[in-house]
Structure 1
């Protein structure tokens, strides 16, 4: 009799867990649909592409909890986040800040995305900034990267300052390139 009670309790627990799992997955699917609808509405809106790209960025950042859950994004969504995080970090504190903060976790992916969107000038800047790291190796682990930064900052500061200025004066519309890339399959 005791065994039957234990089995019954175990089965009830499994059923409850199953329904919780189904409910959680449905909630994520509904949120994805809502986000996709929001993004499609932004794309179809009459605002300029710069406003569109920043509104999409805002939606995607909420979706991934501002980078904490990047696995919730598809590849194009991640690519958009990588480029706009680069822009934010360099505008706020230069390449040093980009590498120091969590955006630097995706330094290699950011460079690859610049190649994908065919942003040649910004690609060249980031490639040169990345080359300050020994063997062009930029750890995705922030603690390891900070350890390397502490060893190369003095040597790299001049190069990064020059690249910061080049970024601020960049004569390439990488935002338009990013928008075309992002919307190429979404329209």
Structure 2
């Protein structure tokens, strides 16, 4: 269901500039990007790719849907990757990520493992969030 939503006209994901999306759409786009990228290549991939534009909003997005433990994991990854602070520009996030030293990469792998344990069920929480925000996403039916 969430895959169909991400590809439909009901979602701004990949269709509308991130900064111009409503808060609800940003929550969906951020979590969709975060989960896709981390599952495909870890936090290093999330920080390196075009998804870097969502990094600043990631902790808020996770907390918005009630994924407090995942928000902490994301916060830890950001602190490890950017100990001097998260750059404000997404391109700088990507640029810095391409030059992470081995120690940072090793520490991020440890954080990746915590993410993969899914202490919060992102699919269920994101579905509930989308369902409660039908004005932004339309009516959503849960399929088994």
- TM-score, normalised to structure 1, is 0.63
* Kept after mapping to 2: 8 A contact 1:121/1:172: yes
For residue 179 of structure 1, the aligned residue among 116, 124, 127 is 127
Q: Any residues of structure 2 matched to 1:76-155 within 5 Å, and which?
A: 76-132=24-80, 133-142=82-91, 144-155=92-103
> Structure 1 stretches of 5 or more lacking a match?
1-51
* Kept after mapping to 2: 8 A contact 1:80/1:178: yes
* Kept after mapping to 1: 8 A contact 2:37/2:45: yes
Other-structure match for 1:56: 5
C-alpha distance in structure 1 between counterparts of 2:133 and 2:94, whole Å? 37
* Kept after mapping to 1: 8 A contact 2:43/2:108: yes
> RMSD of the alignment, in Å?
2.3
* Kept after mapping to 1: 8 A contact 2:52/2:94: no
- Answer 1 or 2: higher relative contact order, Cα 8 Å, separation at least 6: 2
- Quote how far apart the aligned CAs of 1:81 are: 1.1
> Structure 2 stretches of 5 or more lacking a match?
140-144
C-alpha distance in structure 1 between counterparts of 2:15 and 2:87, whole Å? 18
SS at match of 1:135: coil
* Kept after mapping to 2: 8 A contact 1:86/1:103: yes
- Quote how far apart the aligned CAs of 1:138 are: 3.5
User: How many residues get paired?
Assistant: 134
* Kept after mapping to 2: 8 A contact 1:107/1:138: no
- TM-score, normalised to structure 2, is 0.79
- Quote how far apart the aligned CAs of 1:96 are: 0.2
Larger Rg: 1
